[in-house]
Amino acid sequence: MKIKNLIDIKTLFFDNKTTKQTIFKNTFWLALSSGISSFLSFFLVIYIARALGPTRYGEFSFALAFILFFSIFANFGLSRIVIRELSQGKEREKDYPSLLSLKLLLVLGTLAAIFISAFFITSDPSIRKVIWILAGYVLIGNFAQVLYDFLEAHQQMEYESLAKILETILHTIFGFFVILNFPSVENLAYGYLASILFFLIFLLTFFHLKIYRLHFRWDKFIWRKYLKMSWPLALTAFFATIYGQAGLVMMGYFGQITQTGWYNAAYGIVSTVIIPPSIICTSFFPALSKTFKEAKEKFQKIWDYQLEIMISYAIPLMAGGLFLAPRIIDYIYDPSFIPSILAFRILIIMAGIIIFYTTFHWILIIANQQKKIFLVGLIGAVINIILNLILIPKYSLYGVAVTMVVSYLLMFLLFFVFTFKFTAIKTFNLKLLYNLIGAIICSIIMYFVISRPIIYHFHILYLVMIGAGVYLICLYFYKKGVAKLLP
């Protein structure tokens, strides 16, 4: 739409007028909330790790990882189903009060399960107490998700985005206040819990007055209907949690608390750098979904463009991360986190694999191949658990990192095969091959430049910017040259 005045700007970012404008609006707000939340959370986690040290931070990471296993059951795959069903018309809103009550029961049931299970996962009463406190924090946030689902179903992502930004700001304020004045794992857990309680009170009030009058209905028929639809997604989410959290929980169970802190310090950085590709995939999803059946040629063109972006991002990310790992860890943490360097190097390879993995995962969803995704998730989870049991006792955090790489590599290969066999898409072509070669060549040139002693000893932020600048300039001229060769 054309922007002529302030009213048009308001319409562009706050109203749902056309399909294209609504997609742009939702993408903008999604990117904004993800960017701000990730930025604030990243710096908070880094400061927490530095303030607590590897061992205390390991206790905190272990407790949180253990809780995240159970949080899957508090959601039980309902979010996507609720959004899908409520988006189909106003008449579906009659189910929402029953969904609120179902969500409440799932959260309370999960809280009880965590309380009991904590006695079996650790004999340390202080860690057990932290688990209970953080369980309240995680599950209250999980309950808030059912409110976000309603907003997404009605494509009101501007409200969801602003709410999530507020949540992150409160979380950051409380976190920094506690860690600066009362630094301990238990106090930090209480700070997290207090922040989510304040936020939930605000969110419920706003939602009730402005969006939908909240009330509960206890309808077992509605519960069964939605749970029957959601359970496959719940299992798939459980498998995904295994990939990310099983290693941390196992290290904590084996008493490797300090190693857990080292690992999570590296993983925290890596998980941040894969956020941009996730946002890009989310932005491409509506266009790919729309053209999948209607315009095969246009679908292939959009797919090629998306994969080209992913290749151009993943290759230099892995190359730069492998080379600059010591400088990155040294800059962000203190010398007590030196063992995180090797873990970071292994995990940055995982990050590159995840970028490609995510692209093919979403394509299979568009092609209605959820059963294949479920199968891949099951295989990946089994391999992950087996490898962790074998590698953790001997290699500790490095065994967990290698397990992550192997698990995601296997799943990516399976997704690639399934995409080739069960969709009409051409998974790879000459243009993408040229792009891959170009990304590799430009990454080598980038490495050659930033590895020069006179440049390598610059401040790490300048070093990263120089590397990115060299890579982008090389890629630009490479693509101009290749464009003359391609039809």
Q: Does residue 375 share a domain with residue 308?
A: yes
Task: Name the least confident of 159-168, 285-294, 302-311, 441-450.
Answer: 285-294
Does residue 261 form part of some domain?
A: no
Q: Does residue 193 share a domain with residue 51?
A: yes
Does residue 348 form part of some domain?
A: yes
pLDDT tens for 291-303 read: 776 667 777 888 8
Dist. CA 246–CA 242, nearest whole Å: 5
Q: Does residue 155 share a domain with residue 271?
A: no
Q: Does residue 236 share a domain with residue 335?
A: no
Q: What is the pLDDT of residue 470?
A: 94
Task: Name the least confident of 22-31, 233-242, 262-271, 428-437.
Answer: 22-31
Q: Does residue 322 share a domain with residue 282?
A: yes
Residue with tokens 């568009």: 366
Does residue 108 form part of some domain?
A: yes
Dist. CA 401–CA 86, nearest whole Å: 40
Average pLDDT value for residue range 189-202: 90
| The two three-digit tokens of residue 99, written as one number | 């969904």
DSSP state of 211: I
Domain that holds residue 45: 17-255
Dist. CA 40–CA 36, nearest whole Å: 6
Average pLDDT value for residue range 261-268: 88
User: Would you mind telling me the total number of residues written for the chain in this entry?
Assistant: 487
Cα→Cα distances 337→8, 11, 27, 49, 261, Å: 51, 49, 37, 9, 9
| The two three-digit tokens of residue 240, written as one number | 């995904």
Does residue 176 form part of some domain?
A: yes
Q: Does residue 272 share a domain with residue 235?
A: no
pLDDT tens for 313-336 read: 999 999 999 999 999 998 888 888
Q: Does residue 103 share a domain with residue 27?
A: yes
Domain count, the chain: 2
Q: Does residue 284 share a domain with residue 224?
A: no
| The two three-digit tokens of residue 375, written as one number | 């199968």
Of 255, 287, 302, the domain-final residue: 255
CA dihedral 390, 392, 397, 402 (to 10 degrees): 0
Q: Does residue 195 share a domain with residue 48?
A: yes
Does residue 161 form part of some domain?
A: yes
| The two three-digit tokens of residue 259, written as one number | 């190693």
Of 255, 281, 315, the domain-final residue: 255
Structural contact between residues 450 and 471, judged by C-beta atoms closer than 8 angstroms: no
Q: What is the pLDDT of residue 487?
A: 57
pLDDT tens for 441-451 read: 999 999 999 99
Average pLDDT value for residue range 435-442: 92
> CB-based burial of residue 445 (10 Å sphere; 0-12 exposed, 13-18 middle, 19+ buried)?
middle
Q: Which residue, 362, 344, 326, is CA-closest to 273?
A: 344
Cα→Cα distances 92→19, 84, 161, 214, 477, Å: 21, 10, 24, 15, 53
Dist. CA 314–CA 306, nearest whole Å: 12
Does residue 21 form part of some domain?
A: yes
Task: Give me the amino acid identity at 170.
Answer: L
> CB-based burial of residue 7 (10 Å sphere; 0-12 exposed, 13-18 middle, 19+ buried)?
exposed
105 half-sphere exposure, CB direction, 13 A CA radius: 13
Task: Name the least confident of 161-165, 175-179, 305-309, 378-382.
Answer: 161-165
Between 91 and 402, residue with greater pLDDT: 402
Structural contact between residues 193 and 78, judged by C-beta atoms closer than 8 angstroms: no
Of 195, 221, 255, the domain-final residue: 255
Does residue 7 form part of some domain?
A: no
Does residue 409 form part of some domain?
A: yes
Q: Does residue 356 share a domain with residue 249?
A: no
> CB-based burial of residue 453 (10 Å sphere; 0-12 exposed, 13-18 middle, 19+ buried)?
exposed
Q: Which residues contact 50 (CB under 8 A, 6 or more apart)?
A: 333, 334
Q: Does residue 142 share a domain with residue 207?
A: yes
Q: Does residue 187 share a domain with residue 106?
A: yes
pLDDT tens for 10-45 read: 555 555 555 555 666 666 767 777 778 777 887 888
pLDDT tens for 374-397 read: 888 888 888 988 999 999 999 998
